[in-house]
A and B are shown apart, each in its own frame.
Chain A
């Protein structure tokens, strides 16, 4: 069975600092991996996805993630945090089926 673990339910950074949100996955087949963002009182929006092409994936709003098979990780990074990045971030995994399995989410707080 597939699963996703997000380390840290809350991450706090200063504006301008590096953002690092951690995601580890478990999958018996080559996974497809996603990062979604949820702003307050809104639905989820795709940031980026890995679908077995390039291991370094660039997304919207300056975010990127690197697929590391040896570490079963897909951590999300952004070089410089903006106040507008404050939101809930979800890592998710799927296989060839119709199902997305989400992690428990990480709330990003950005301090001025």
Chain B
């Protein structure tokens, strides 16, 4: 069983479109995250949810909107896609979200905006 899964694995779309990425974890964790990895492999946190509540919202354009329907799911919706949104997006989860927690990462979604 995959601990943290993401769909789709690859996403190719045109500028201006709206797309969503889904994430599910079966680890029973309370906290979930979205990270963006750019072409230089730099990883930056975007959002974090704890028990369905938003607790981290980094400086991310408001075209990005996370939604957590329940503790096991955290989806990312992106409106009006731009070329600069091309990246690999990783979902992660951790037990409680405290600083000592191990974060478990999904396999990533490679988004290409043409």
Contact = CB atoms under 8 A, between A and B. Distances in A.
Interface in A67-112: 88, 90, 94-102, 104-105
Contacts of B45: 99-101
B55 A98 contact: yes
A36 B101 CA distance: 13
Contacts of A102: 42-44
Contacts of A32: 99-100
A55 interface: no
Interface string B76-114: 000000000000001010000111101111111000000
Interface-centre pick from B43, B45, B100 (highest chain A CB count, 10 A) = B43
Contact of A98 (B40, B42, B48, B105): B48
Interface residues of B, number: 26
Nearest to A31: B99
Contacts of A45: 105
A56 interface: no
13 contacts: A32-B99, A32-B100, A43-B107, A46-B104, A49-B102, A51-B100, A88-B41, A95-B99, A96-B99, A98-B33, A98-B50, A98-B55, A100-B103
Interface of B: 4, 31, 33, 40-45, 48, 50, 55-56, 90, 92, 97-100, 102-108
Interface of A: 32, 34, 36, 38, 41-46, 49, 51, 88, 90, 94-102, 104-105
